[in-house]
A and B are shown apart, each in its own frame.
Chain A
Amino acid sequence: MSVLVYTELADGQFKKSSLEAIFYGSKVAAQVGGSMTVLVIGSAADEELAKAGNFGATKVLHANAQNLAAENIMAYSKVLSETAKSLAATIVVSAKSSLADAVMARAAGALKAGLVGNVVELPETSNGFKVKRSIFTGKAFAETSITSDVKFIAIKKNVLPLEETSNSAAVEKLSVDTGSLTESSKVLETIKATGTVSLPEADLVVSGGRGMKGPENWQALLDLAEALGAATACSKPVSDLDWRPHHEHVGQTGVKVAPNLYIACGISGAIQHLAGVNSSKVIVVINKDPEAPFFKAADYGIVGDVFDVLPKLTAAVKAL
C-alpha cells in the first residue's frame, strides 16, 4: 500500500497542518508497510520542501508550474488525482482546510474513492480500514470503515503530537498536464489580512464576543493576542455587526478551530459558538456573568470585567 499526502503552502513554507499530515502519513505508511510520497503544489524553495523529511517523508513531488501559483481547485485536484494514479496510491491523506476539502473532494470523485474527513486518530488496519472521525460538529465520534480500493482521509488539527528529526527528503519536480483547467475561473481580487496569525492554523486563539461592547474596544484583546503570538477570533454576533471581519467568526457556521488554547472574552457560549471551539485542548472563559453557559465548557474561568482582566493577562504574559 502506498500513501500520498496532499500538502499546502503558506508564504513558501509548509503549513503546520500540512506537517501534521506528513507526520500522520508516515505513521500510516509504517503501519501498513508501504511507502509515502508528499505532494506539494505552488512555489517554494527546495530547501524548505526538504524539511518534510523532518516529519517522516523521504520523497516530495513538487508541482510548481507557473499556472499553478494561484489556488485553483480544479487544477489542483487534477494534479492530485493524476499523481495518486501514477503512484498507484491507495491511501491519500491531507489536513482539513477549506481549500483541501475542495481539492480532496474532486480528486476522490475522480478516483471513486471513499473519503472521510475530521479524522482524529491513526487508522485501524488490522481488519479492514477504519478511522475515527469527529461528527456533529465535535459533539460525537464515529468509527467509520472505508471499503473502496483507494481511501481518502482528511485529518483534524492536533491529531498527533509532532515528532521532529533532522532527516531531509528528496525533492523532485513534477509536471502534470492540467490542460485548460486553470482557465475555468479567473481570480479578480484577493483580499487577505497580512502579518496576522492564520486562525485555522493557530495553536493559540484569543476571541471576543458582544461583551467587548464595540469594535473600538478591541485593542485590549489584540494586545493579549500579540503578547501570546495568538490568532484573533470572534463570535457570530460580532461579525454580523461588522465589528470584526467574517473570516474571524468562529462557530457552527464559521471557522472551526482546534487550538491548544482558546481564550473567550465576553462570549456567553451559545451552543452554536461552542460547536466551533469544542475541539480546543484548553478553554479559558472570561465573562462578567457567572451564569454564562460557556463556563460549563471551560477549563479555566474568570468572572470579571474583560477590560479589567485583559490588561492583567497581557502583563502576566509579558512577564513570562
Chain B
Amino acid sequence: MKILVCISSVPDTTSKISFEENDTKFSKAGIQYIIGPYDDYALARGVELRESLGGTLTVLNVGLADAEPQIRKALAIGADDAVRIDAEPTDSFFVASEIANYVKDKGFDLILMGRETTDYNSGVVHGIVGELLGIPSFSPVMELKLEGNTATLAREIEGGKEKLEASLPLVLGCQEPIAEWKIPNMRGIMSARTKPLAVIAPSSEALTSIEKYELPAPKVACKMISAEDAGSLIKLLQTEAKVL
C-alpha cells in the first residue's frame, strides 16, 4: 500500500487574526501554526492503514519553510518520508496542480487530505487533484476501510451519511470520526529528525490572488434578558431582530 497524506500548516484555531502592510498581508507574528485539523484526521487514518497493511506513507505539504515543524510532526506521528513543495499555498487550483504533478507516475494507491483547510476553507483541493489525475475523489469522508483493492467508505451527506464502495486509487477529503488524532511519542520525535524531507520547486501558476484582507465589524454588546421573563425574547426576535 502506497499512501500519500497532504497536510496544510494553518494558524491554531484560537489565533487572533490580523493583517499588515495596509491589509494586504496576513500577519504571522505571534501565530502558533498547527497541522490542519482535518488533515490531522487524514494523517491519523493514513498511519493506521500503513501500520496494519504495510507499505509506505509519504506526507506532502505545499508551503514555505516555516511549515517544516508541522511536517516533522507528521513524520513523528508515523509518516516514512516527506515532500515540501516550496510555495505559498494561497490558491486551490495551484495547490492541487502541485499535488497532482508530484503524484503523477508515482503509483500512490490512496491520497488522503482534510476535507478543507481551516485558513481558506475552500474544501476543493481533493476534487481538483482527483480530476487532474483522472481518478475518483470523495469528500467529506468519515469512515474508510480497505480490503485488497476495494475501499469501503462513508461520506457525510446533509442529514446523514452514504456508505459506498470504490476501487483504488482514490483521493479522499477526510473528517472526523475517520480516526482519532495521534500524538507523537518520544521515539517518533527522535526518528522524525532523520527521516527524509525533500524540497521541490513549484511548477504551476495560481489562478486567483488575494488583493486585500478585512476583519468583520465588531459585535455589538449582547442584550441580556432575565430568565423569569424568557418568553419576552421571542417578541424581541420578531419585532427588533426581525428573524421570526
Q: Within A179-213, which residues are at the interface with B (CB < 8 Å)?
A: 184-194, 196, 198-201, 203-204
Is B14 touching A271 in the complex (CB atoms < 8 A)?
yes
Is A192 touching B220 in the complex (CB atoms < 8 A)?
no
Closest CB in chain A relative to B92 CB, distance in Å: 6
Closest CB in chain B relative to A142 CB, distance in Å: 5
Q: Within A304-320, which residues are at the interface with B (CB < 8 Å)?
A: 304-305, 308-309, 312-313, 315-317, 319-320
Chain B interface mostly: mixed
Is A299 touching B241 in the complex (CB atoms < 8 A)?
yes
Q: Mark B165-178, 1 if CB is under 8 A from A, else 0.
A: 11100000101110
Is A117 touching B124 in the complex (CB atoms < 8 A)?
yes
Q: Mark B12-26, 1 if CB is under 8 A from A, else 0.
A: 011001010000000
Is B162 touching A108 in the complex (CB atoms < 8 A)?
no
Q: Which residues of A contact B214 (CB under 8 A)?
A: 132, 140-143
Decide yes or no whether A118 CB sits under 8 A from chain B. Answer: yes
Is B223 touching A299 in the complex (CB atoms < 8 A)?
yes
Q: Which residues of B contact A252 (CB under 8 A)?
A: 13, 37, 118
Interface size class of B (residues with CB under 8 A): 35 or more
Decide yes or no whether B131 CB sits under 8 A from chain A. Answer: yes
A204 to B208, CA, bound (A): 34
Q: A142-B212, A143-B211, A305-B227 are in contact. Are A102 and B127 (CB under 8 A)?
A: yes
Decide yes or no whether A19 CB sits under 8 A from chain B. Answer: no
Q: A73-B138, A186-B166, A188-B165 are in contact. Are A193 and B160 (CB under 8 A)?
A: yes
Decide yes or no whether A267 CB sits under 8 A from chain B. Answer: no
B225 in complex: contacting residue of A99, A114, A187, A300, CB < 8 Å: A300
Decide yes or no whether A130 CB sits under 8 A from chain B. Answer: yes
Q: Which residue of A lies closest to B165 (CB)?
A: A186
A310 to B241, CA, bound (A): 19
Is B207 touching A148 in the complex (CB atoms < 8 A)?
yes
Q: Which residue of A lies closest to B126 (CB)?
A: A105
Decide yes or no whether B238 CB sits under 8 A from chain A. Answer: yes
A272 to B213, CA, bound (A): 22
Is B210 touching A143 in the complex (CB atoms < 8 A)?
yes
Decide yes or no whether A285 CB sits under 8 A from chain B. Answer: yes
Is B128 touching A140 in the complex (CB atoms < 8 A)?
no
- The segment from B45-53, B68-76, B150-158, B194-202 found at the interface with A is B150-158
B234 in complex: contacting residue of A282, A296, A297, A313, CB < 8 Å: A313
Q: Mark B115-140, 1 if CB is under 8 A from A, else 0.
A: 11011111111111111100011111
Decide yes or no whether A27 CB sits under 8 A from chain B. Answer: no
Is A73 touching B238 in the complex (CB atoms < 8 A)?
no
Q: Mark A91-110, 1 if CB is under 8 A from B, else 0.
A: 00000011101111111111
A193 in complex: contacting residue of B128, B159, B163, B225, CB < 8 Å: B159
Is A295 touching B162 in the complex (CB atoms < 8 A)?
no
Is A192 touching B160 in the complex (CB atoms < 8 A)?
yes
Identify the B interface with A (CB < 8 A).
11, 13-14, 17, 19, 37-38, 41, 91-93, 96, 115-116, 118-132, 136-140, 142, 152, 156-167, 173, 175-177, 206-216, 219-220, 222-227, 230-238, 241, 243-244
Q: Can you report 11 residue pairs joining A to B where beta carbons are below 8 Å apart?
A: A73-B127, A106-B127, A135-B119, A139-B215, A140-B17, A143-B211, A185-B164, A193-B160, A247-B161, A296-B219, A302-B233
| Nearest 4 interchain pairs by C-beta | A105-B127, A304-B227, A114-B207, A109-B131
